[in-house]
Amino acid sequence: MQRLEVMIAEQQKEITRLRTTVKNEAQRRLLASDTALPGPSSSNSKSFPEDGALVHEEDNLDAETWPHGDIECRRTIAEHTCGVTSLAYSHGLIYAGAHDGSTKVFDADTGELVNALHGHEMSVWALAVDSVSNRFFSAGSDGTIKVWDLSLYSPTTTDHTQQQCCVGTLRQHSGKVYSLVVRGDRLFSASSDRTVKIWDVNTLENLATFTGHQDGINAVIAIDEDRVATAASDKTVKIWDVRTGRATHTIGTHSSEVLDLTHGDRMLFAATYDAVIHVYDDRTNERGSSESRARYAPIATLTGHNWEVWQLAYVQGELFSASFDHTVRRWDVRGGVVEGAAAVGGRGFGLCTGTLKGHKGFVHAMIQGENNLITGCADRTIKIWK
């Protein structure tokens, strides 16, 4: 019976391979002909569900240069025994947290498992790397932040637990920790306890605690050296002055919980539980105080995902969004802020230029690697797109 199941699985793989070959050959012939490619569908996207390829709809976007042009899945890492919940990348290494409380480290080029660590009791929802101190941080549902020193790792030892590599455990949060970010020598952590805490990455001292949200905080990002932004289930985004610990701006126009944020080219992007991505003008004028000169006017909303959007990443004029609908979408958001006005600029702004299909579960995690995109999913896999 087991042998029959293996044979059926192999047949299904061969069918998928043949379908992919036929589709790629048809696409090659179409591109080689004088016939124009068909225009975008009603959702403004082109997707290839069999082989996971993504093709940009525009012809003038430097098709050979990342992150524009065609993108396909170049590698799938399937070392986890449960869903992948968080990712981080640094110097050729992929850090991946999972539902079982483990964090695995992979070589990004080969996909080889480098380290396997287990220190959390429940899901690892956040990871951050400090390359200067050779430490990385993990946090999750157990409310703790673990501090790992990879220089203490010994591949000959079978017990890769917190006793060997974990050099600290931060327990000051009273709720789940959903987000971590390292900025300089500071670690920022966001929690369902409605607070953001700042830590010294070297001494592990808790330097400050930000309060103001009325519900759990789902994400924290660094905008610049002086500002961080937070996304919360109270349907707001807050901008914080790191020096004073005060929220200088609150964006409260969302109709649903705010799940993630990213920032780039004077724009702030916020993903919400109702599958919408909101785009704001983050221009800073030369005059006025730091509180009055920043502007967060809405300039666009991006729709197309079927379920909530949990992850955002901004890469050189392209926005990537990962969703519980099992897909990752790419959006052209270049020229979104025009000098002198908070307005959408440039033809095709906000166009979904493709959909990455290949995961078979909720896409929990997404990060930018070295000229590629890395995603982690409830289907127990990590995919590298390039």
Sole residue written with tokens 């070589």? 107
Kindly give the residue spans of alpha helices, DSSP state H, lying in 76-193.
162-165
pLDDT at 3 over 80: no
Query: pLDDT tens-digit profile of 60-82?
Result: 445 568 999 999 999 999 999 99
Domain coordinates in residue numbering, the chain? 1-36, 39-385
pLDDT range class, residue 365, cuts 50, 70, 90: very high
- Amino acid identity at 140: G
| Pair 376, 85: CB distance under 8 Å | yes
So what's the pLDDT on residue 161?
55
Buried-exposed string 250-284: b where 16+ CB fall within 10 A, e elsewhere: ebeebeebbbbbbbbeebbbbbbbebbbbbbbbbe
Query: pLDDT tens-digit profile of 215-248?
Result: 999 999 999 999 999 999 999 999 999 999 999 9
3-class DSSP state for residue 78? coil
Query: pLDDT tens-digit profile of 289-337?
Result: 445 556 788 999 999 999 999 999 999 999 999 999 999 999 999 876 6
So what's the pLDDT on residue 293?
52
So what's the pLDDT on residue 15?
43
pLDDT: which is higher, 7 or 235: 235
pLDDT at 19 over 60: no
3-class DSSP state for residue 96? strand
Q: How far apart are CA 175 and CA 224, in angstroms?
A: 27
pLDDT at 50 over 50: no
Q: How far apart are CA 351 and CA 200, in angstroms?
A: 41
Angle ∠(72,75,76) on CA atoms, nearest 5 = 115
Query: pLDDT tens-digit profile of 355-364?
Result: 999 999 999 9
Joined tokens for residue 164: 């060997």
pLDDT: which is higher, 250 or 160: 250
Query: pLDDT tens-digit profile of 200-220?
Result: 999 999 999 999 999 999 999
**Percent of the chain predicted with pLDDT > 70:** 74
Mean pLDDT of 175-198: 98
| Pair 357, 52: CB distance under 8 Å | yes
Q: How far apart are CA 354 and CA 301, in angstroms?
A: 17
Closest of 39, 71, 66 to residue 54, by C-alpha? 71
| Pair 125, 140: CB distance under 8 Å | yes
| Pair 228, 222: CB distance under 8 Å | yes
Query: pLDDT tens-digit profile of 241-265?
Result: 999 999 999 999 899 999 999 999 8
So what's the pLDDT on residue 153?
73
Q: For the structural domain made of 39-385, what CATH number should be given? A: 2.130.10.10
Contacts within 8 Å (CB) and 24+ apart, 68-73: 68/316, 68/318, 71/330, 71/354, 71/356, 71/373, 71/385, 71/386, 72/385, 72/386, 73/356, 73/358, 73/383, 73/384, 73/385
Mean pLDDT of 102-116: 95
Determine which of 37-51, 179-193, 270-284 has the lowest per-residue pLDDT on average: 37-51
Q: What is the largest CA-CA distance in the chain?
A: 75
pLDDT range class, residue 188, cuts 50, 70, 90: very high
Q: How far apart are CA 138 and CA 361, in angstroms?
A: 23
* Beta bridge pairs of residue 86: 97
Count the neighbouring beta carbons within 10 Å of the beta carbon of residue 24: 15
So what's the pLDDT on residue 53?
41
Joined tokens for residue 39: 């225009």
Closest of 208, 197, 268, 272 to residue 236, by C-alpha? 272
pLDDT range class, residue 338, cuts 50, 70, 90: low
Q: How far apart are CA 306 and CA 54, in angstroms?
A: 18
